[in-house]
Amino acid sequence: MAIKEKIKKIVGERGVGVYHYLASQIAAFYFGFPSKNLITIGIVGTKGKTSTANFIWSCLQQAGLGTAMLSTANIRLGQKEVLNQYHMTMPSPFIVQKFLKDTKREKLAVAVIETTSEGIKQFRHKGIDFDFLVFTNLSPEHLPSHGGSFEIYQKTKGKVFAGLTDYPDKHLAGLDIKKTIIANIDDSNSQYFLSFKAERKITFGVKNPADYQAVNLQNSEGKISFWVNNKSYYLNVLGDFNVYNALPAIVICELLGKISYEQIKQGLLNLKSLPGRMEVINQGQNFMVLVDYAHEPKSMELALRASRNLVKPKGKLIVLLGAEGGGRDKTKRPAMGELAGKLADMVVVSNVDPYDDDPKEIIKDIAIACVQAGKILNHNLFAIEDRREGIKKCLAMAGQGDVVLITGKGAEQSMIIKDQKIPWDDREVVKEELKTIAQ
């Protein structure tokens, strides 16, 4: 039994909650409540948070407003960047508060923080004085951690919005900062998040009328163009869904003022790659390889459809997928298996992070759904527990004009099997195996 489970058994759920709350308050006090002197932006939602954070960082940096960012994939302090080694999006409050302190020490003006339901549940948001909260979208994920209830999952995320106006407005970097909620109007849960108190409530979207609605979307060989309020923008990253992730950057820059259209436009263009987010791995092979974090049904569908659009005539789409153990939502396994079975030509099911769960059971749950969607085991569907061997199989099946999509881990730097944390990076493993093929 893990140590934290033993503690929970002794003191109970409420006692654990008190511990987390006190830890967050102590961390904020120890580091001097650094967010009070920063423009602080929280990104809340199920998917797209990392990409949204990176777009905001890129635009604000282009505008000369020094920006730090803490995300699932990468951590930035101005132009300095490292990969997130913590295997969690929102680490302990001491790490988060130190990040905010480092942001101040580097004389940066803005901090962007991915704010997760698990982090909120453990009060890691306490002691952070947010100014902007961005709601990206909401779909079932991490439900076992929230009593299996989507409503509780939603309300957990809502807690950070409920505390938005607990702190006073700021005047920083020559700017008047008002407490602001920015929400994706195309998501059916947006009205819930817009119901919380704020000085400004701004909407963005693609399908429905919004304060910032993207229109005239064009995608030519992965290069995306669109218009917002009679201004044209371009993206250098793959996937039409990234328009949603780019819109909050436009909103925040315009709300801050003193940032020109040209700076915003260039900031979006500057972002050419996101670690483990539809990231292209090119070692000179005659097919495309993409590494993406997609690990729940909606993001899996978006990644598969975006990849399908990149397949050349007569080419095929090959996907590797899996699902986490460790108490994660088991219902997503068949859902992702069905999507892969329907939308990909060849499927390899492999390990992601099984934790203490039986990897074979996880793989079986996904593979059965693939078969029900029309795939045939050992013909166009392969169950390979060892992830490196699974990646090797995908690459071996690929030829000219094909697209290989490796999902589930993105730029994560480790894999957890039972109580072992194994160093791992899908992107490096793909490069290594591609070099072997080329020999």
Residue 382 — left, alpha, or beta (φ > 0 → left; ψ -120 to 50 → alpha)?
beta
Higher pLDDT, 181 or 143: 181
Question: Using 50, 70 and 90 to split pLDDT, how confident is the model at 118?
Answer: confident
Q: Domain of 75? A: 3-270
pLDDT value, residue 29: 94
Q: Looking at residues 61-80, what average pLDDT do you find?
A: 96
Q: Looking at residues 228-257, what average pLDDT do you find?
A: 96
Same domain, 266 and 284: no
Q: Which of 376, 406, 408, 372 is nearest to 390 (CA)?
A: 406
Q: Which of 153, 26, 118 is nearest to 18 (CA)?
A: 26
pLDDT value, residue 37: 96
Last residue of a domain, which of 251, 270, 289?
A: 270
Cα–Cα distance between 110 and 89 in angstroms, integer? 19
- Does position 142 have pLDDT exceeding 60, yes or no? no
How far from 149 is each of 144, 145, 191, 264, 324, CA to CA, in Å? Answer: 8, 9, 19, 39, 19
Same domain, 144 and 265: yes
Same domain, 328 and 415: yes
Q: What is the mean pLDDT of the chain?
A: 92
Cα–Cα distance between 250 and 344 in angstroms, integer? 34
Same domain, 217 and 341: no
Cα–Cα distance between 10 and 13 in angstroms, integer? 9
Question: In 257-402, which residue ranges form alpha helices assigned H by DSSP?
Answer: 261-270, 297-308, 332-343, 359-372, 387-397
Last residue of a domain, which of 225, 246, 270?
A: 270
Same domain, 411 and 428: yes
Higher pLDDT, 37 or 174: 37
pLDDT value, residue 141: 61
- Tokens linked to 278: 């539809």
Same domain, 153 and 207: yes
Burial track 277-292 (b if 16+ CB lie within 10 A, e otherwise): bbbebeeebebbbbbb
pLDDT value, residue 115: 94
Same domain, 60 and 80: yes
Same domain, 77 and 164: yes
Cα–Cα distance between 370 and 392 in angstroms, integer? 20
> What CATH number does the domain containing 297 carry?
3.90.190.20
pLDDT value, residue 413: 93
Same domain, 215 and 245: yes
Q: Looking at residues 24-46, what average pLDDT do you find?
A: 95
Cα–Cα distance between 135 and 44 in angstroms, integer? 5
CB of 185 within 8 A of CB of 204?
A: yes
pLDDT value, residue 11: 59
Question: Using 50, 70 and 90 to split pLDDT, how confident is the model at 14?
Answer: low
For helices 332-343 and 359-372, the axis angle rounded to 10 degrees is 50
pLDDT tens sequence across 318-360: 999 999 988 777 889 999 999 999 999 999 999 999 999 999 9
The string of DSSP letters for 158-214 reads HHHHHTGGGS--EEETTEEE--EEEEETTSTTHHHHHTS--SEEEEEESSS--TEEE
Same domain, 246 and 283: no
Same domain, 235 and 156: yes
Q: How many CA atoms lie within 13 A of 407 on its CB side?
A: 31
Last residue of a domain, which of 270, 296, 328?
A: 270
CB of 87 within 8 A of CB of 421?
A: yes
Question: Using 50, 70 and 90 to split pLDDT, how confident is the model at 1?
Answer: very low
pLDDT tens sequence across 262-298: 999 999 999 998 999 999 999 999 999 999 999 999 9
Q: Looking at residues 157-174, what average pLDDT do you find?
A: 93
Amino acid at 334: P
Q: What is the number of domains present in the chain?
A: 2
Burial track 410-419 (b if 16+ CB lie within 10 A, e otherwise): bbbbebbbee
pLDDT value, residue 432: 97
Same domain, 373 and 261: no
- Does position 88 have pLDDT exceeding 90, yes or no? no
End-to-end alpha carbon distance in the chain? 46
User: Computed from CA positions of residues 286, 290, 291, 296, in that sequence, does the dihedral angle turn out positive or negative?
Assistant: negative
Cα–Cα distance between 60 and 256 in angstroms, integer? 10
Cα–Cα distance between 329 and 31 in angstroms, integer? 35
- Tokens linked to 198: 């704020």
Cα–Cα distance between 376 and 369 in angstroms, integer? 11
Q: Return all residues near 439 (Cβ < 8 A) that are at least 6 apart.
A: none
How long is the chain?
439
- Tokens linked to 68: 């730090």
Rounded to 10 degrees, what is the CA torsion of 393, 395, 397, 403? 130
pLDDT value, residue 147: 56
pLDDT > 90: what percent of the chain?
Answer: 81
pLDDT value, residue 13: 62
| HEC string for 92-154 | CHHHHHHHHHHHHHCCCCEEEEECCHHHHHCCCCCCCCCCEEEECCCCCCCHHHHCCCHHHHH
> What CATH number does the domain containing 81 carry?
3.40.1190.10
Q: Looking at residues 158-164, what average pLDDT do you find?
A: 95
